[in-house]
Chains A and B, each alone.
Chain A
Amino acid sequence: MGIEKGRISSRQATYLVVNTILGTSILFLPALMAGEVGQDAWVAILIAAVLGFLIGSVLVISLGLRFPGKNFVEYAIELVGPLGGRILGFLWGGFYLVVNGIIVREFGELLKTEVMPETPLIVFVVMILSMAVFGVYLGLEVFARVNEIVFPLFLGVLLLLLLTGLPEMDFRNLQPVFQHRFPDIMVSAANLLAFYGEGVVLAMFLPYMRQPEEAKRVQYEIPIILNFTMLLVIVGVIAYFGAGEAARMVFPTFELAKAVRLGFVERIESLFVGIWVTSVGVKVMVISYVTVLALAHSLSLRDYRPLVFPCGLILAVLSVLQFADTNHIREFLARYWIPFGFTFQWFIPFLLYLVALVRKKDQSGGR
């Protein structure tokens, strides 16, 4: 039987995935994309939206539905044999460990550079990790419920931000359209797609949904909420600052929060950061959960909990060690994230899907 006993609803699953993808990309992507394709960023989002929906629904949902009650590593073991499946699961766990290190570092860097410049980085790292370790220890059901409260708040604050910024947005900043070469736009879309790849975490908790049939609805809900928000934020940021300006900033979304006025209330970025911190907290929980669950399955443990704390410690080390500074993170995200993310998030599930097709493995019983 599975390790995880908790069950989540389809809405919780949707929110978890969207929150996982949006959590950090909402801050880093606008600058990256504005730098790559400027005002044509929205074209890249539309391309990534269509591709992401197609790839995601095939690789995650339909592959997952072939093996009811089994998560990614469990059906990997089923498909490519015990040894291969365990190696895949272990690689996957390792990948998410590294990714989580990056996320925690991004989180710390934002707070350090923008909010509390005199606090050492390690303080933020330790705080978010103790929260995450605690959450993961309590289990999937607990942080899914937390997220059900946090995520709508996060979306609400984002929308509020964009609405209050609306009067000062200049949509002529979005002209001229298609100024950039198509290959550049494709590369930018691929970059976005690599970020969307974090949604593959769904493969780990799809089997724990109370009604697996509803997975078919989830595959539409996730891309709709996700791309709609992404489009609004990136178009909003570019219209507000202009593409050239946005590309020079480190966190344009955060700068937007600093700049807008809410009636007579100014500098609402603390509100934004407060909500964002909880949202990233949940994101770190989700990724840590996927990491330890994947590792536990590939080592055939009966419980993932013993791994939670040691992995938290490794994470703390990784997040401090990995990068020299914020520019290094940006350079890594801009240059290496596409091949790195694609290999683990899209290519491995793709291979598994091919194996499933060739070996005609289907345990859904025609449901």
Chain B
Amino acid sequence: MLIVVISAGMVFCEVPKLMHRQMWRELWAFSVFLAIGLAGALALALDLPLPNPIRLIEFIFGPLSKLIYSG
């Protein structure tokens, strides 16, 4: 709940300023990033499964890591 309240507060601070200065690109970026963050935070709060970037990194760099530590 708290997350939603803080985010709403942030939207009220940020959006009118951006609209006023006609920074549509910025508004777009703000919305997309906020949506990602909000979705993640809510999923985390509700214990929904989320993809973990560390797993991806471990998968990509695993072979390299083995190469380094085998020497």
Mutual binders A and B: yes
Q: Are B68 and A306 in contact (CB under 8 A)?
A: no
Is there an interface contact between B68 and A190, defined as CB atoms closer than 8 Å? Answer: yes
Q: List 15 A-B contacts (CB under 8 A).
A: A187-B68, A190-B68, A300-B25, A301-B29, A306-B23, A307-B33, A309-B34, A310-B30, A311-B37, A313-B38, A314-B36, A314-B37, A316-B41, A318-B53, A338-B65
What is the predominant secondary structure among interface residues of chain B facing chain A?
Answer: helix
Among A300, A314, A322, A343, find the residue whose CB has the most chain B CB atoms closer than 10 A.
Answer: A314
Q: Could you say which of A310, A316, A323, A336 contacts B33, with CB atoms under 8 Å apart?
A: A310
A187 contacts B61, C-beta separation under 8 Å: no
Q: Is the beta-carbon distance between A306 and B71 smaller than 8 angstroms?
A: no
Q: List residues of A whose CB falls within 8 A of some B CB.
A: 98, 101, 183, 187, 190, 295-296, 299-303, 306-307, 309-314, 316-318, 320-323, 332, 335-336, 338-340, 343
Q: How far is A340 from B62 in the complex, measured between Cα atoms in Å?
A: 10
Contacting A183 at CB < 8 Å: which of B25, B64, B71?
B71
* Contact (Cβ within 8 A) B14 A302: no
Do B57 and A336 have beta carbons less than 8 Å apart?
A: yes
Q: Which residue of A lies closest to B41 (CB)?
A: A317
Name 9 extra pairs, CB < 8 A, besides A306-B26, A311-B33. A98-B57, A187-B68, A296-B29, A301-B29, A302-B23, A306-B30, A307-B29, A321-B52, A336-B61
Does B54 interact with chain A (Cβ within 8 Å)?
Answer: yes
In the assembled complex, the Cα of A98 lies from the Cα of B53 at a distance in Å of 8
Is the Cβ of A322 less than 8 Å from the Cβ of B53? yes
Please tell me if the beta carbons of A306 and B29 are within 8 angstroms of each other in the complex: yes
CB distance from A133 to the nearest CB of B (A): 9
CA distance A323 to B55 in the complex (A): 10
The answer on a CB contact under 8 Å between A306 and B36 is no
The interface residues of chain A lying within 8 Å CB-to-CB of B27 are 306
Given contacts A338-B68, A339-B64, A339-B68, contact A321 B25 (CB under 8 A): no
In the assembled complex, the Cα of A300 lies from the Cα of B23 at a distance in Å of 11
Complex CA distance for A338 and B61, rounded to whole angstroms? 9
Interface residues of B in 9-62 (CB under 8 A from A): 10, 14, 18, 23, 25-27, 29-30, 33-34, 36-38, 40-41, 44, 50, 52-54, 57-58, 61-62
